Chain A
Amino acid sequence: MSDSLLRVEDLRTVFRSSSGDIAAVDGVTLEVPRGKTLGIVGESGCGKSMLSLSIMRLVPNPGRISQGRVMLEDRDLAALSPAEMRAVRGGDIAMIFQEPMTSLNPVHSVGDQLMEAMRAHDAKASAAELKNRAVEALRRVRIPSPERRFAEFPHQLSGGMRQRVMIAMALACSPRLLIADEPTTALDVTVQAQILDLLRELQKETGMSVILITHDLGVVAEMADEVAVMYAGRVVERGTAKDIFEDPQHPYTIGLLGSIPRIEEDRERLLSIDGSVPPPFAFPKGCRFNPRCPFVIPACKEADPPLRELGPGHRAACIRAPVELALDIAA
């Protein structure tokens, strides 16, 4: 679709090891629509953070992008010089992380850090003006008595407040894309609800696109317009939120949906998925989900199935989808 702000094409991010390159992200293609939210969901270790760090070109050593493009409109971020990329990070794209304490500097006041972030984008503004803007930024993320909070240090704030400060700093450059990597995972549910609500309002105000990374399908349902389900370094299913929740196609997506305990339901047993996620050096041949998949047939172990269109814009990487038909045939 032409209406996407960011398009990731066949991206591969590898770590060099004694036994060759290990791909934490392996051939990922996805799109982030303009002004909308893409939710990326998957269990621990499936490559969500590596994917977002790859987009930001912040993959830690010894990792590197070995293949693919990251198209921000018509610019390939993967091909930019480090200086050009720094400008993109400080301008077009901003990122917030799970643990706000580790990304805030404990020895500087919240206000100083905010002013610092703002000065980076506007070298000409006076100190008084920056201070005004910083207080305004705190107000904008709904921090009560922002004038007082301005002078406080990170440890004096609750986890939810710190995440608000991080959001304020990320928004200082008016990004067109905000990448939020598990922004509420460390927070209590009532605080999570506040932060998600805030993100939604800010998106409405600014029209920015958001990539929201989470392992929580509830958060995805609450926030995402489009969804990519990741498993073992790959996207195994993509579609609208409605597609994923009402018409899940990939067995992994189905298993995940069956594993989540639901408040409105009283099943005695949860579905659960057998086994566990393999580490990147032990990805199986063929479909990476095959050792855990109840629908596996010999062909699944041969070749890794590509994403296949199953409805408009709805793709899944499974040769047996839709599985209820597969079941009849096997019976």
Chain B
Amino acid sequence: MKEGPLLEAVSVAKHYPVKKGIIVSRQVGAVRAVDGVSFTLHRGETLALVGESGCGKSTTARVVMRLIEPTGGDIIFKGQNVTNVAGAKLRALRRHLQIVFQDPYASLNPRLTVADTIAEPMAVHGIGDAASRKARVQELLRLTGLRAFHADRYPHEFSGGQRQRIGIARALAVEPEVMVLDEPVSALDVSIQAQVVNLLGDLQQRLGLSYLFIAHDLAVVKHVADRVAVMYLGRIVEVAGKRELFSNPRHPYTRALLAAIPRPDPSRRGAVTPLGGDLPSPLNIPPGCRFHTRCPVAQAVCREQDPPLREIAPGHTAACHFAEDLPRFDAEADGGIAPVAQRRLAAYAAARERRALAAVPAP
């Protein structure tokens, strides 16, 4: 029998009141940062949450981790409603849900050594003694591709990619079941980004972790996710398995996002018509479908009725009145990588492999 979801968000909302007046302050509106978001995360899977700046990804993550209180909705962890748990139960929950932040520079305490940084969550949760924590730190350094001697260094002595590895090691220290990765590679250079993406994949395989992977870069998501949820202005507008979402997107916003990604292939240049208009403010969400002000296929009904997120095929949901009526998505008229470039990439991979083998003495 299939296991139920590990983590579930049900109609989660987070509204920030906007107040006016100095002496008698009154609420004049609300920033609807997250406005009714539901999703499930299963054991061992990666669910990607993608969308443009300000659409509510980080807020959603913080609400499900109980780092901020929701305005509405429920959070279910392993079948238990944990929306209102406190004290020891909340601490236990926090142990199982760990977060890695975007900015590897800001998210580490500059005064703690790497060993102390990684061991801190174990101390907080009362796991092990000094000796066992020390051993665990060494294990985590190995696991995340750092070296034993790094333990006594300070964060400023590391590059961005290494700092992100430290952040990952720290999150792993308490053996969480779910890792929330909030743009874990956005601040990194591409060559380093690739190292961290590969590391996250390896760790997931070895440890059976579930990832809620937040990103704005759909190309990265294509490489890490099992399922993808696309957010727009505080709502999820489409969810599907990765292959399905990229080959058969059914929400006009998902299509616009996919089309806007610049492809590393000069022969495809200028192929897209960019989406018009500006993102509306979350203080002032348009009535009806919240995407209608920018949607290329909007009709009268879109201005009046808010389309619910509904199943349009097994495992594929979309919030658009015309989800089924959109034309076939002419997926990448595939140029792919040119043959010569392909050969060079293969040579590079082979040479790296050979060097790695040469560096490790045969057993």
Please report A residues at the B interface, Cβ cutoff 8 Å: 43-44, 158, 160-161, 188-194, 196-197, 200, 215-224, 241-242, 245-249, 251, 254-274, 276-277, 294-295, 322-324, 326-327, 330
- Stretch of B76-84, B110-118, B127-135, B269-277 on the interface side: B269-277
Q: Are A200 and B219 in contact (CB under 8 A)?
A: no
Contact B264 A217 (CB under 8 A): yes
| Inter-subunit contact B266/A242 (CB<8 Å) | yes
Q: How far is the CA of A310 from the CA of B334 in the complex (A)?
A: 28
**Closest residue to A200 on the B side, CB-wise?**
B270
Taking CB atoms, residues of chain B closer than 8 Å to A44 are 189
Chain A min CB distance to B88 (Å): 41
Q: Are A256 and B190 in contact (CB under 8 A)?
A: yes
B90 contacts the other chain (Cβ, under 8 Å)? Answer: no
A327 lies within 8 A of B351 (CB) = yes
Known: A224-B266, A265-B222, A324-B346. 6 other contacts (CB 8 A): A189-B216, A221-B263, A222-B263, A264-B336, A270-B197, A327-B347
**Contact of A248 with B269 at beta-carbon distance under 8 Å, contacts A160-B278, A222-B263 already known:** no
Q: Which of B159, B278, B337 contacts A276 (CB 8 A)?
A: B159
Q: How far is the CA of A261 from the CA of B53 in the complex (A)?
A: 20
**B278 contacts A273, C-beta separation under 8 Å:** no
CB nearest neighbor in A for B242: A266
Contact A254 B348 (CB under 8 A): yes
Contact A258 B348 (CB under 8 A): yes
A200-B270, A264-B332 known; A272 vs B195 contact (CB < 8 Å):
yes
B30: CB under 8 A from chain A?
no
Across the two chains, which residue of chain B brings its CB closest to A322? B344
Closest to A45 in B: B189
Find chain B residues with CB under 8 A from A255 CB: 191, 348
- Decide yes or no whether B340 CB sits under 8 A from chain A: yes
Q: Are A221 and B265 in contact (CB under 8 A)?
A: yes
Give chain A nearest CB distance to B206 CB in angstroms.
15
B218 lies within 8 A of A263 (CB): yes
Shortest C-beta distance, B356 to chain A (Å), equals 9
Contact A245 B341 (CB under 8 A): yes
Q: Evaluate contact between B261 and A272: CB separation under 8 angstroms.
A: no
- CB contacts (< 8 Å) of A191 on chain B: these are 52
Asked whether B219 lies within 8 Å of A323 as measured between CB atoms, the reply is: no
Contact check: which of B52, B263, B344 meets A190 at CB < 8 Å? B52
Contacts of A246 in B (CB 8 A): 338, 340-341
**Neighbouring B residues of A247 by C-beta, 8 Å:** 338, 340-341
CB within 8 Å for A222 and B262 given contacts A158-B278, A259-B194: yes
CB within 8 A of A189: which of B52, B159, B337? B52
B355 to chain A: closest residue by CB:
A294
| Residue positions of B touching A, CB distance < 8 A | 52-53, 159-162, 189-195, 197-198, 201, 216-220, 222-223, 243, 246, 256-270, 272, 274-276, 278-279, 331-332, 334-338, 340-341, 343-352, 354-355
Shortest Cβ gap from B358 to chain A (Å) = 11
Contacts of B343 in A (CB 8 A): 324
Give the CA-CA distance A330 to B357 in the complex, in Å.
14
Contact (A189, B260) CB under 8 Å given A246-B341, A261-B220, A263-B246: yes
* Closest chain A residue, CB of each to CB of B344: A254
Q: A266-B222, A270-B223 are in contact. Are A259 and B345 (CB under 8 A)?
A: no
Residue of A nearest to B343 (CB): A324
B195 touches A323 (CB 8 A): no
Residues of chain B lying within 8 A (CB to CB) of residue A249: 344
Contact A272 B194 (CB under 8 A): yes
Residues of A within 8 A of B276 (CB): 194
Q: Which of A254, A268, A271, A295 contacts B201 (CB 8 A)?
A: A268
Cβ A276 vs Cβ B348 within 8 A: no
| Cα distance, A86 to B223, chains bound together (Å) | 48
CB of B172, distance to nearest CB on chain A (Å): 20
Contacts of A323 in B (CB 8 A): 344, 347-348, 351
> Cα distance A110–B192 when bound, in Å?
39
Q: A248 touching B194 by the CB < 8 A rule?
A: no
- CB pair A192–B262 under 8 Å, yes or no, is yes
Q: Are A270 and B269 in contact (CB under 8 A)?
A: no
Which A residues touch B193, using CB under 8 A? 259
Q: Can you name the residue of chain B whose Cβ is closest to the Cβ of A331? A: B354
Contact B262–A219 (Cβ < 8 Å): yes
Residue pair B194, A222 in contact (C-beta under 8 Å): no
Among A196, A241, A269, point to the contact of B266 (Cβ < 8 A): A241
Q: Hey, which chain B residues are within 8 Å of A262, CB to CB?
A: 219, 222, 263-264, 337
Nearest-CB residue, chain A, relative to B352: A294
Query: Do A269 and B201 touch (CB < 8 A)?
Result: yes
Pick from B268, B275, B332, B350: contact of A327, CB below 8 A: B350
> Complex formed: what's the CA distance from A216 to B190 in Å?
8
A190 close to B348 (CB less than 8 A): no
CB<8 Å pairs between A and B, sample of 29: A160-B278, A188-B53, A189-B216, A190-B52, A191-B52, A193-B260, A193-B272, A194-B274, A194-B276, A218-B263, A221-B265, A221-B266, A222-B263, A223-B269, A246-B338, A249-B344, A256-B191, A258-B345, A258-B348, A260-B190, A260-B219, A261-B194, A263-B219, A264-B263, A265-B336, A276-B159, A295-B351, A323-B344, A327-B347
Q: Which of B159, B190, B274, B335 contacts A193 (CB 8 A)?
A: B274
A257-B341, A263-B218 are known contacts. Are A197 and B274 too (CB-CB below 8 A)?
yes
